[in-house]
Amino acid sequence: MWANVTDPVPDPRILEALRASAVLHSAVLTPKGPHLTPTVFSWAAGRLWIVAPKRSVKVRALRADPRVGVLLAAGARYVIGSGTAAVWDPLGGSPRPNVDELVRGPFGATRYLTENLRHALSVVADSPTPWLVVDRVAVSISLERLALSTDTELIESWGEWPRHDALTRSANRGERFHLPGPASEIARRLLHSDGDAQLGLTSRCGPLALPAHWSAERHEAGLPADLAVLTGCVAPGPACLTRATSGYGVADKQGVLVRGPSTYRRAGDSALFHVTPHTVTTWRGQRVRTVSRARPEVRADD
């Protein structure tokens, strides 16, 4: 660990990214593998803070396994983190926080509301129900490992990362990338063009959220090979790929999450990952739908 969680972040470039980033991507572990989605966040009292529906996939996964991977983008740089999360339920149902966490809580709540007020108001406007606040929980994330990267290289790292090189130069492409028939137009549109993406993988320290570049022609997500080695990502294995748009309005938040087995190959200084779409989840605001190859009918995703 680079430092105790009560200490400042280890580098001013990390703090700059925490202040500049508008969205936090966080990865959790589910029985089907990693699950990675974006959310607004804040940084206060030495923690990352997010708010999520208490019955969401993310919260249910964190109650079972508190390990979490995080990713922030700040211009041409990315901050990759790994740590543990604590779920705060104001109506109970969570373990009682210790004294240290009780001290941090009010600072985290105040900063989150201050920095994300427009987002909170748009959520209320999109779903004006008296149960909206009751249905939410707060999640605080303690970081134990950090890395700073660009699209092409690892810049620096802090903490005890697994460091494992499983990459091979052989062409390991996996199954053909084919979306299930009922996959929505959002999925097809976001995956039709090249651009930034987020890759959810696993390692010995838990789930990983890694920055990647999506190639629509090759159906591969590429990232610096030295970043893959540092984080000790496990492949082949279960993985997920996320692409999303964001904005202040709820309807502006659209995205796709592709889950399935992954394969990988090394190409020069890059690690290229292919995720076979077994399950495809899309969202527009708070409206979510999921289709899978095993169950092609569309269903709500809780």
SS3 content of the chain, % helix, strand, coil (to 5): 20, 45, 35
Model confidence over 228-248: pLDDT tens digits?
Answer: 999 998 878 899 999 998 765
Q: Indicate whether 128 pLDDT > 90.
A: no
Domains delineated in the chain:
12-300 (2.30.110.10)
25-39, 80-94, 127-141, 180-194, range with the lowest pLDDT: 127-141
Q: How far is CA 25 from CA 40, 208, 243, 298, in A?
A: 9, 10, 11, 25
Residues in Cβ contact with 199 at an 8 Å cutoff, skipping those fewer than 6 apart:
36, 208, 209, 210, 211, 212, 221, 223, 239, 240, 241, 242, 273, 275
What mean pLDDT is reported for the chain?
A: 82
The string of pLDDT tens digits covering residues 80-112 is: 999 999 998 766 655 555 545 544 444 445 554
Q: Is the pLDDT of residue 220 over 70?
A: yes
Report the distance separating Cα 242 and Cα 279, nearest Å. Answer: 12
- Range name among 125-134, 172-181, 228-237 with the lowest pLDDT average: 125-134
What are the DSSP calls for 166-211, one per residue? ---SS----S-----TT--HHHHHHTSS-EEEEEEEEETTEEEEEE
Q: Is the whole model's pTM more than 0.75, yes or no?
A: yes
Q: For residue 51, what are the contacts with CB-CB under 8 A and spacing of at least 6?
A: 39, 112, 136, 137, 138, 139
Eight-class DSSP state of 253: -
59 close to 113: Cβ distance less than 8 angstroms: no
Residue 26, classified by CB atoms within 10 Å of its CB into exposed (0-12), middle (13-18) or buried (19+), is buried
Rounded to 10 degrees, what is the CA torsion of 270, 223, 69, 26? -170
